[in-house]
Amino acid sequence: MNSQTSKVYLFIHVICCVKNKEPLLTKPVRTVLFAHIKKNAADNGINVLLVNGTEDHMHVVVQMMPTQNLAQIMKSIRTESAAWINESKFIKNLFEWEEGFAALSVSPSSVKQVLDYIEKQEEHHKTKSLDSELEVFQKIQI
C-alpha cells in the first residue's frame, strides 16, 4: 500500500483540566470556547471530532494523522485556547490549563459511543465527579 492509499484511523480521547480544577468554564464561556477550539484546530490541520466538558475540564476527541504528535496537538490547543480566553477577557482572572492531560486511544468501532458520552458531560457530572471519572483511568491495567 503506498501513502496515497493509506487509511489511518487513530482516535484519541483527551481530558484536560482547568488549572487547579477551578470551575471557570461557565456555560456561556464553554459554548464560545469549544466552538473556537474546533475551528482553530481545523485551521491548523487538527481534526477535532468533538469538544465538550464542564466548569473545570474539557474532553476532546482527535483523529490523528500519521505525521502528528499528540503532545504537540494538545500544546497547540491548550496554549492557543488559553491565550484566546485571556485576550477576549471572558474570565476576570488569568486562565490556564493544567500541565498534563489524560489520553486514551479509541477503537474506530467505539468512536460513536465515546462521542455520545462526551456530548452528555453536563448530565454525567451531575452524579459523578471529575476525580471519580479520572480514577477509572488509574485502574486500567494492560
Residues 50-54, mean pLDDT to the nearest whole number:
95
**Is 0.75 surpassed by the pTM of this model?**
yes
* Separation between Cα atoms, residue 140 and residue 142, nearest integer Å: 7
**Mean pLDDT (the chain, rounded):** 89
**Any idea where the domains of the chain sit in the sequence?**
10-131
| Percent of the chain topping pLDDT 90 | 72
User: How many helices and strands (H and E) does the chain possess?
Assistant: 5, 4
Q: Do the Cβ atoms of 25 and 53 come closer than 8 Å?
A: yes
How long is the chain? 142
pLDDT for 137 equals 63
**Torsion angles phi and psi, residue 115, rounded to 5:** -60, -40
Residues 38-61, mean pLDDT to the nearest whole number:
96
Domain 10-131 has what CATH class?
alpha beta
Other beta carbons within 10 Å of 85: 21
Residues 36-59, mean pLDDT to the nearest whole number:
96
pLDDT for 97 equals 97
pLDDT for 7 equals 82
Q: What is the CA radius of gyration of the chain?
A: 15
pLDDT digits (tens, 9 = 90+) for 97-119: 999 999 999 999 999 999 998 89
Distance of CA 142 to the CA centre of its chain: 24
Contacts of 95 (CB under 8 A, 6+ apart): 18, 19, 24, 82, 85, 86
Residues 92-98, mean pLDDT to the nearest whole number:
93
